[in-house]
A and B are shown apart, each in its own frame.
Chain A
Amino acid sequence: MSHGRLSNDRGGLRGIVRGGSGGESPVISPRTLRNLRSELSRSLLAKFGIAILAVILFTAVFAPLLAPHDPTDQNLDNANVPPLGFTATENQTTSETVDGEVQIVEEEVVVNTTAEHPLGTDSLGRDVLSRTMFGARTSLLVGLFGTAIAVVLGVTVGITAGYYGGRVDDALMRFADVMLAFPSLVLAIALIGLWGQASLRIPDPLVAFGIASAEMPEDIVLPGTVIVVVALVNWVWFARVARGEALSVRDQEYVKAARSMGGSDLHVILRHVLPNSLTPILVLATIQIAAIILLESSLSFLGFSGAQLSWGFDIAQGRQYLSSSWWIATVPGLAIVAAVVGINLIGDWLRDALDPGIEGQGGAP
């Protein structure tokens, strides 16, 4: 599963690179694949990271089939139910009429767990497990699309700056520095404030084709503004890395050779500079996915993303019940931790396996 995912990713990158040049070889060489495999077999943490991400990904894709309840279904009679294996008490105020007098009785009642809600319910009686499963969709969508846009933007700017150098480089990189000067969360909030919270609703194929229960939400919400905003906040990192790579690749003799054959700048960039700069960009991308998931959660927590089904949003919802119903905020919180740790472990694995010190030096396989 995880391997399949990765090679899909690679196919995507290859598509970008192939766009203008039309060669036949993969961007990632057989030797790199060997490195990836041997590093994976050596590293327990890498396997762990892949396993975590595989679970989250699987959950996100098949959420309508896996989730026990409609995540938006409210039931006030069943509110604040604790997860299985825990008990909780609740102060209940009841009024009774005793001998013609109204008496107000305050009593502490025990809220029972039910197998129907294995991870409990929130203050409106919505199933925490189902909400966390559907929340994975928002996080991964924002993480993947946001990173993809940031990569395209950052790599374009960075490679242009690094390859041409001089004033082009000065201008682009000073602009990037200005972007870096803003705290990312503040910048993101400002941009959302400027553009509003547009989102795109895509019919969920699992529901539309009747594979999953019709009770499940029929749309996948793609938070458009948030995706664009997190990309705009994070592209700078890609620009800086891509620029550095382009600067060093630019002086390689094969670039000189391509130019001496009459290769245009576009040819040299697409055929040589970009493929040879991709490794650290790929590593950075994995780490940035984690950072963007965190940023999305922060925005949702603060209520700026407009998402109603998101880990960050649920944490914000559960915050006020933290003392009595801790699970409402804790479960999505743990989901964020798991996703970020898993993705970072994968990033470490890629970094170790694709070490540029090994790449391009020839010799040892």
Chain B
Amino acid sequence: MTDPLVTVDGLEKYYYENDTLLDRLTGAEPEAVRAVDGVSFDVREGETLGVVGESGCGKSTLAETLMRLREPTGGSVTFDGDPVFELSGGDMDAFRRRAQVMFQDPFSSLDPRMTAGEIITEPLAIHDVGTAAERRERAETLLEEVGLSADQIDRYPHEFSGGQRQRIGFARALAIDPEFVVLDEPVSALDVSVQAQVLNLLADMQAERDLTYLFIAHDLSVVRHISDRVAVMYLGEIVEIGPTEEIFEDPQHPYTKALLESVPRADTDERDRVVETIRGDVPSPRDPPSGCSFRTRCPELIQPPWLDAPQAAFREISEFRTRIENGDIDVDTRWERVGDPDREDRAAFVDALREEAFDEDLPDNDEETVREAIRALADGDREAAAATLRERYRSPCEAIDPALPAGNHPDACLRNEQPADVEAAREEWEADHDAPEVGASSR
């Protein structure tokens, strides 16, 4: 039960987009899309490890790379002691028999031109197991086992409902008696009532056949229902991993907390709860944030040691700073709104933008710094405005990339326990940066 069946170590899958002939000729640096960016975890024999995360966080790429359907750009996967990425010939064949995948889409995961029987026996045919008659018999048994009837064996996929198709997909995954099944969002496309049936089927089969699951989903309640342990992914990285109940009852990473917080619950007490959603969009994996990848949306962004502002105010200032740095604030329209074509009434501009950008009251010092930055912005000096804010409000989260420590329930957040080298980097960073004087950079 406790031996890892699958060990993933530092798995990376980067896609290089700028790799056309023209780019190669001009020598342009290929741009990496970091779909999976250094992921490590174990799947223990007989358990279900759930992987959750928003769409686009790299869950499915993780599954496909782990199964070697895509070639990884780094890292390794060990299956029962064998290095998966180095297998070839008969050893690779054995791996392909022992590990199977069940896919998400009930429509595209089954070949529309094959009957249910042909679909289920395909792995047997590929590995040349049994005679045609034996395979057919096996398919009939499997159909019954997954809750369909054996006389549906000659039907085509379009004659089945979504839930039935997923059952066929599952029967196909089980046909060759695997030990490990990757379930890539197996119920995401199904109605809620059907989801529960399929989940129960998955659980029953696991108990019956001692299967090990890697269960990928974006629905937290589904993952909670079926998983023994849960890994939370954000932007190609695992930010927290631990036993299911601990993750749900005592989440450590701010992202996990925010994710759990954002789920509406079926409870009358909930009616008036303001669901605190995660702000903003997932950053592009083409250009992930420096340091902690969640910092651009993190409600618990760490303040620099010299600062002691209310967290909400600090967060607003940080977001304002990001907008300035990205050039998202159009100074011209703001001036127009102030109604001063000669751009002389700087005070009015500052007041207007200050009110627009902030809901919170700011402490005096911070109020002064923010206004100084807006004044620079009013003069059209975006760089100076950004520098003013950056000086005082830089967070260690921007500089230090947190790591996932070892242990039963680790998480990758600088607020929590971190490996020694990350702690050391943080101390060094704090020593290198001093508090700036308020107003020091104003003219």
Contacts and interface: CB of A to CB of B under 8 A. Distances in A.
Interface of A: 21, 23-25, 27, 29-31, 170, 252-254, 256-264, 267, 271-272, 275-276, 359-363
21 contacts: A23-B118, A24-B118, A25-B114, A30-B156, A31-B158, A170-B21, A253-B103, A253-B105, A253-B109, A254-B109, A254-B110, A257-B109, A262-B96, A262-B127, A271-B111, A275-B111, A275-B113, A276-B113, A360-B107, A360-B112, A362-B158
Interface in B142-172: 156-158, 169, 172
A175 B99 CA distance: 40
A260 B109 CA distance: 12
A271 B115 CA distance: 13
Contacts of B118: 23-25
B122 interface: yes
B122 A258 contact: yes
A246 B369 CA distance: 59
A307 B109 CA distance: 51
Interface string B162-192: 0000000100100010000000000000000
B100 interface: yes
Contacts of B64: 256
Nearest to A27: B113
A62 B371 CA distance: 96
B176 A261 contact: yes
Nearest to B115: A25
- Chain B's interface size range is 35 or more
Interface-centre pick from B103, B122, B157 (highest chain A CB count, 10 A): B122
A253 B96 contact: no
Nearest to A26: B113
Most chain B CB inside 10 Å of its own CB: which residue of A24, A261, A272, A276: A261
B167 to A, nearest CB: 15
Contact of A262 (B92, B110, B111, B114): B92
Given A24-B118, A275-B113, A276-B111, A262 B97 contact: yes
A256 to B, nearest CB: 6
Contact of A259 (B69, B113, B158, B172): B69
Nearest to A28: B113
Contacts of A21: 125
A253 B113 contact: no
B324 interface: no
Contact of B100 (A23, A29, A261, A363): A261
Given A252-B111, A260-B96, A275-B111, 20 more contacts: A23-B125, A27-B113, A31-B156, A31-B158, A252-B109, A253-B104, A253-B109, A257-B101, A258-B126, A260-B69, A261-B123, A261-B126, A262-B96, A262-B97, A262-B126, A263-B126, A267-B126, A271-B122, A276-B113, A359-B112
Contacts of B122: 258, 261, 263, 271
